[in-house]
Amino acid sequence: MSRDSRAVPFAASVPVAELVERAQAGEARAVARLISMVEDRSPSVREVSAALTPHTGRAHIVGITGSPGVGKSTSTSALVTALRAEGRRVGVLAVDPTSPFSGGALLGDRVRMQDHATDHGVYIRSMASRGHLGGLSASAPQALRVLDAAGCDVVLVETVGVGQSEVEIAGLADTTLVLLAPGMGDGIQAAKAGILEIGDIFVVNKADRDGAASTRRELRSVISMTDRPDGAWKPPIVLTVATTGEGIPEVVREIAAHHAHLDASGELTGRRLARLRREIEALALTDVQRRFAHLSGHARLDTLAEEVLAGRLDPFAAADTLVEHL
Amino acid sequence: MSRDSRAVPFAASVPVAELVERAQAGEARAVARLISMVEDRSPSVREVSAALTPHTGRAHIVGITGSPGVGKSTSTSALVTALRAEGRRVGVLAVDPTSPFSGGALLGDRVRMQDHATDHGVYIRSMASRGHLGGLSASAPQALRVLDAAGCDVVLVETVGVGQSEVEIAGLADTTLVLLAPGMGDGIQAAKAGILEIGDIFVVNKADRDGAASTRRELRSVISMTDRPDGAWKPPIVLTVATTGEGIPEVVREIAAHHAHLDASGELTGRRLARLRREIEALALTDVQRRFAHLSGHARLDTLAEEVLAGRLDPFAAADTLVEHL
């Protein structure tokens, strides 16, 4: 699969079933077209999802999170190289929750990923999530489903930006990598943002800098304080220099080890079921929200807001009216 | 109203109508009790909301956002002092979206706010929003309603933490202050996070530091590039040193000027209606989510997730089943 393939769009008339077949055969243009369809929420998104679902469940979804500046992009690129060297098919989904723009021209397709642009075993896609109800939960699972059905062994999901999206990424992934860098005060910030709780593997990148050892020590002490049942996964800490590839093979090994652990313990199924519950719920709530917007008469949202502003109705009673008129 | 008052809780048996009357009369314990009731989502939250709504709409809600380290807490405290000097009754709601803890002992009640703890014209409250559906949208509007009905002229809403919550704060406020500090690379970060779009007033705090002038210049250039219709508000930039109070009176003047502008242009009503629409919708969606969780048989979320995992159902069809069984 290559970057160039997206330049030639498919005719809109190609049936979904045929697109899915071609995507499964590894045809990059078909993959690109399917992701666009699920991302644009085109009317055929339901048809696409229905056609894809039976072919999913094989890909190992790996989330990559961390504060800006820790080297997420470079690490992602280095991981792609290492996974490709093992002959694995790799997908990359770069999500920018602060950008209203989505699609072909951004992020994942940018310079930093050009090393992989002509590699037919790599599929790279960027998407935005700003403004969607439920943020990432809206389109990202559909895009992951396309990459999964297209035969990717591993899909790396990388956030660009900061904040709650990091926790959302963990919600999408089987395995979550938390990246830190020495001397950025990341230890405390990470604890604050709760990303220590979501990390399955911790990577201290830029380990050639001062402070890598103390960042590792600090992390290790936090990790050791967490109560874990017997047999539970204990998050390893790997030191890397993503720019040179140092430590990357160990990250790849830990990713595989975590997958094996999830599989053996039954946790893989548990995580995926939890993810599907959230996805189904988010889709249903989006549908309900759309229905709210179409109510008329005294159940119109505008009318209800005016009544509350005038002090004639309280917001809970207004909400009841909405739900009753669904 | 004082901090100490919260130490002596009200008897649970005091009727809501009486609590509302006492809160309107400025009794701090009644205000504290009402906020706790709406925050805990106690069964009486609906009753409280209904009793409060007719007495709301007077307070000017001012949101205060900015990256960690720009001096939000110090600025909030300085604004309280300045507003109190004008004889205005002030409420402060400090929201920590990354904390699962809420209530009395945190943040707003901490050391930095102790200057105001014995001032009976100030009411300070902290709350957490982590884990709530819709984040801030769930409890904060109810808490603001209490402070509004209790006769606060101005309520300052301050976020602690980072990320999307900044944009959420703007959604709660009539007027949004965006704080920056020199030399933190805030210019670019702010643009990225979209907080430039939400600022009604920009405050460059720590203006005694190097780089304040260039931060102002950069901001001014970004602001001037934005297209605005004739008569629209042009966000001013104020330089402050919150620790000494320098520039704070100008911020207070700009807050009043913005309020006058909103009032004269009709935008105040527009913003409040938009806010109420979001609040009503969020309450209704929370209710729907609760109903989803109580469905049984083949409409159980667990069962639906299992069907999707097995590839027998796609997530959209699963979501349809949920909505149909509401």
Q: Which tens digit of pLDDT belongs to each residue from B107-151?
A: 334 444 556 656 677 888 877 654 444 445 467 888 999 999 999
B61 touches B174 (CB < 8 A): yes
A68 touches A106 (CB < 8 A): no
Are B308 and A276 an interchain contact pair (Cβ–Cβ within 8 Å)? yes
Residue A187 confidence class, pLDDT cut points 50, 70, 90: low
Q: Which of A203-207, B132-136, B285-289 has the lowest mean pLDDT?
A: B132-136
| Of residues B118, B303, B130, the one with CA closest to residue A163 | B130
Residue ranges of A 196-255 with Cβ closer than 8 A to chain B? none
On chain B, the residues whose CB falls within 8 A of the CB of A268 are: none
Q: Which residues of B47-86 are buried (b: 16+ CB within 10 A; e: fewer)?
A: bbbbbbbebbbebbbbbbbbbeebbbbbbbbbbbbbbbee
- Of residues A242 and B168, the one with the higher pLDDT is A242
Q: Which of A55, A309, A320 lies closest to B57 in CB terms?
A: A309
| Of residues B101, B316, B97, the one with CA closest to residue A167 | B97
| B58 has a chain A CB within 8 A of its CB | no
Query: What is the rounded average pLDDT for all residues in chain B?
Result: 83
Return the residue in A49, A281, A294 with the most chain B beta carbons within 10 A, the one to mutate for interface testing. A281
Are A318 and B162 an interchain contact pair (Cβ–Cβ within 8 Å)? no
Distance CA B323, CA A326 (A): 10
pLDDT of residue A197: 79
Most confident segment among A120-124, A139-143, B12-16: A139-143
Are B305 and A192 an interchain contact pair (Cβ–Cβ within 8 Å)? no
Are A292 and B302 an interchain contact pair (Cβ–Cβ within 8 Å)? no
Whole-number Cα distances in Å, A85 to A25, A90, A249, B230, B287: 21, 11, 10, 60, 50
Q: Which of B52, B162, B313 lies closest to A163 in CB terms?
A: B162
Are B283 and A194 an interchain contact pair (Cβ–Cβ within 8 Å)? no
| Of residues B192, B193, B191, B157, the one with CA closest to residue B176 | B157
Residue B13 confidence class, pLDDT cut points 50, 70, 90: confident
pLDDT of residue B218: 84
Residue A70 confidence class, pLDDT cut points 50, 70, 90: confident
Report, in angstroms and rounded to the nearest whole number, the Rg of chain B calculated over CA atoms: 22
Q: Which CATH superfamily is domain A56-265 in?
A: P-loop containing nucleotide triphosphate hydrolases (3.40.50.300)
The percentage of residues in chain A with a pLDDT greater than 70, rounded to a whole number, is 79
| B324 has a chain A CB within 8 A of its CB | no
Question: What is the residue extent of each domain of chain A?
Answer: 56-265, 277-324
What is the chain B residue with the closest CA to A283?
B319
Q: CATH says B56-275 is which class?
A: alpha beta
Alpha carbon B295 to chain centroid, angstroms: 34
Residue B269 confidence class, pLDDT cut points 50, 70, 90: very high
pLDDT at B184 over 80: no
| A188 has a chain B CB within 8 A of its CB | no
Q: Phi/psi of residue A323, each to 5°?
A: -65, -40
Residue ranges of A 282-301 with Cβ closer than 8 A to chain B? 283-285, 287-289, 292, 301
Please provide the DSSP assignment of A164-219 as one string. Answer: THHHHHHHH-SEEEEEE-TTSSHHHHHHHHTHHHH-SEEEE--TTSTTHHHHHHHH
Q: Which residues of B200-238 are buried (b: 16+ CB within 10 A; e: fewer)?
A: bbbbbbbbeeebbeebbebbeeebeeeeeeeeeeebbbb
| B171 has a chain A CB within 8 A of its CB | no
Residue ranges of A 104-163 with Cβ closer than 8 A to chain B? 130, 135, 141, 161-163
Type of residue at A212: A
Size of interface A-B (CB pairs under 8 A): 170
On chain A, the residues whose CB falls within 8 A of the CB of B302 are: 273, 277
On chain B, the residues whose CB falls within 8 A of the CB of A193 are: 98, 161-162
| B50 has a chain A CB within 8 A of its CB | yes
Are B280 and A305 an interchain contact pair (Cβ–Cβ within 8 Å)? yes
Q: Which of B98, B281, B292 lies closest to A192 in CB terms?
A: B98
pLDDT at A39 over 80: no
Distance CA B258, CA B235 (A): 9
Helix or strand (DSSP H, E) at B128:
strand B122-128
- Of residues A48 and B112, the one with the higher pLDDT is A48
What is the chain A residue with the closest CA to B292?
A281
Quick: pLDDT tens for B75-98: 999 999 999 999 999 999 987 655
pLDDT at A11 over 70: no
Can you tell me whether residue B127 is helix, strand or coil? strand
Q: Phi/psi of residue B62, each to 5°?
A: -115, 115
pLDDT at A190 over 70: no
Q: Which of B273, B309, B313 lies closest to A273 in CB terms?
A: B309
Return the residue in B316, B322, B323, B324 with the most chain A beta carbons within 10 A, the one to mutate for interface testing. B316
pLDDT of residue A116: 65
Distance CA B279, CA A317 (A): 12
Are A285 and B284 an interchain contact pair (Cβ–Cβ within 8 Å)? no
Residue ranges of A 12-31 with Cβ closer than 8 A to chain B? none
pLDDT of residue B1: 42
Are A280 and B322 an interchain contact pair (Cβ–Cβ within 8 Å)? yes
A136 CB-near residues (< 8 Å, 6+ apart)? A95, A97, A129, A165, A168, A169, A171, A172
Return the residue in A65, A106, A308, A321 with the most chain B beta carbons within 10 A, the one to mutate for interface testing. A308
pLDDT at B237 over 70: yes
Query: What is the rounded average pLDDT for all residues in chain A?
Result: 83
Distance CA B234, CA B201 (A): 9
Cross-strand bridge partners of residue A124: A92
